[in-house]
Amino acid sequence: MVKQKGFIACFIERVIIINSILSNKKIICIFVLPTLIIMSAIIFVPIILSVRYSTFDWSGIGKGTFIGLDNYKQMFSDTRFLHSAKNSLLFAVVSIVIQLPISLLLALILASGVKFEKFYRTVYFIPVIISTVVIGQLWIKIYNADYGLLNTLLKAIGQGKLVHDWLGKENTALISTFIPILWQYVGYHMLIMYAGAKSISSDIYEAAKIDGASPVKTAFHITIPLLKPILKVCITFSLIGALKVFDLIYVLTNGGPFFSTEVPSTLMYTTIFDNYKYGYGSAISVFIILECLVLTVLLDRLIKTE
């Protein structure tokens, strides 16, 4: 009993010490300072440099010429850039309208306690941890016009007239690049929503069951409203990810054919590293940052959570 009291007294004493430390703003600032310095070096400094370079006509070698806002004026009059911005916004809409509902449906089904729940949870999350280059090569093989799985399947079910060069034609290339990206991150959002659904008290579901609520009504009137903060996070992640998407589009089409699948990030890459227009490419990067920031703030204002 004496030892137990000594342990409890020691525990309470440590809690008091921790609370006193956390209430000291100077100590908090000291602990936060190293992280702030690292974040500034990795994030804020490159952003500031990009803003500076965007006001120059610079090839990346030697000294650039200051041209003010001319790069931004050129950017908003460039039809290629405007088309890429439209593609990224379209992908953002598709991600929110198609990807997230699928993720939510899977999360609700798994959280309801289906058989082999852990197995399905793992399977759905596997695409998230696979390398983007590997996924790109996988879907290139699926879309291949000669021996691709998709065309082979269409022929096998007697729909040979639908056989198509999916990544090589302008009318299908864009949607064909969207599908792998949506497929890859369905499991990511599903796992976040699943964790949120699992954290809801079982007492609420038992009360609803006693009141005669069906699983569908329970989902719409209990689970989804309580998941609103989680859904807001997923929508934000989906929006930002869509606006700055690069890797899979670069692997699948590199923005082609005829720039039909180009997005601002791929255009920025080719502008800087292929055309050596560092000033104009930096202006595009600043646009991507501002676009993500502005739309995230608007999203935060539109979706209110208690």
Which secondary-structure segment (H or E) carries 57? strand 56-57
Predicted confidence band of residue 252 (pLDDT cuts 50, 70, 90): very high
Alpha-carbon distances, residue 247 vs 86, 94, 177, 213, 253 (angstroms): 18, 18, 11, 45, 10
Predicted confidence band of residue 127 (pLDDT cuts 50, 70, 90): very high
Q: Judge whether residue 116 has pLDDT over 60.
A: yes
Q: What is the pLDDT of residue 24?
A: 67
Q: What is the pLDDT of residue 35?
A: 85
Least confident of 20-24, 75-79, 189-193: 20-24
Stretch 243-251: mean pLDDT, rounded? 92
> Is residue 96 within 8 Å of 238, Cβ to Cβ?
yes
Q: Which residues, including other chains, have CB under 8 Å from residue 78's CB and lie 6 or more apart?
A: none
Angle at 268 between CA 264 and CA 270, to 5 degrees: 120
Stretch 100-127: mean pLDDT, rounded? 90
Give burial (CB, 10 Å; 0-12/13-18/19+) of 260: middle
Q: What is the pLDDT of residues 154-177, one digit of tens each?
A: 999 988 888 888 998 888 999 999
Return the number of other C-beta atoms located less than 10 Å from residue 160's C-beta. 10
Instruction: Please tell me the distance from the alpha carbon of residue 102 to that of residue 250, in angstroms, as a whole number.
Output: 25
Amino acid at 141: K
Q: What is the pLDDT of residue 27?
A: 73
Is the bond into 264 cis (omega within 30 degrees of 0)? no
Q: What is the pLDDT of residue 32?
A: 81
Query: Considering only CA atoms, which of 130, 112, 306, 293 is closest in space to residue 193?
Result: 112
Residues of the chain above pLDDT 90, percent: 51
Domain spans in the chain, listed from the N-terminal domain onward? 1-44, 54-302
Stretch 89-110: mean pLDDT, rounded? 93
Q: Which CATH architecture has domain 54-302?
A: Orthogonal Bundle (1.10)
Stretch 271-293: mean pLDDT, rounded? 93
Stretch 138-162: mean pLDDT, rounded? 90
Kindly report the pTM of this predicted structure.
Answer: 0.84
Q: What is the pLDDT of residues 203-219, one digit of tens each?
A: 888 888 888 888 888 88
> Is residue 127 within 8 Å of 135, Cβ to Cβ?
yes
Instruction: Please tell me the distance from the alpha carbon of residue 17 to that of residue 143, in angstroms, as a whole number.
Output: 62
Instruction: Please tell me the distance from the alpha carbon of residue 145 to that of residue 155, in angstroms, as a whole number.
Output: 12
Instruction: Please tell me the distance from the alpha carbon of residue 140 to that of residue 31, in angstroms, as a whole number.
Output: 48
Q: What is the pLDDT of residue 72?
A: 94
Mean pLDDT of the chain: 87
Instruction: Please tell me the distance from the alpha carbon of residue 167 to that of residue 174, in angstroms, as a whole number.
Output: 8
Q: Which residues, including other chains, have CB under 8 Å from residue 190's CB and lie 6 or more apart?
A: 102, 103, 104, 106, 107, 110, 124, 125
Q: What is the pLDDT of residue 179?
A: 94
Q: Judge whether residue 147 has pLDDT over 50.
A: yes
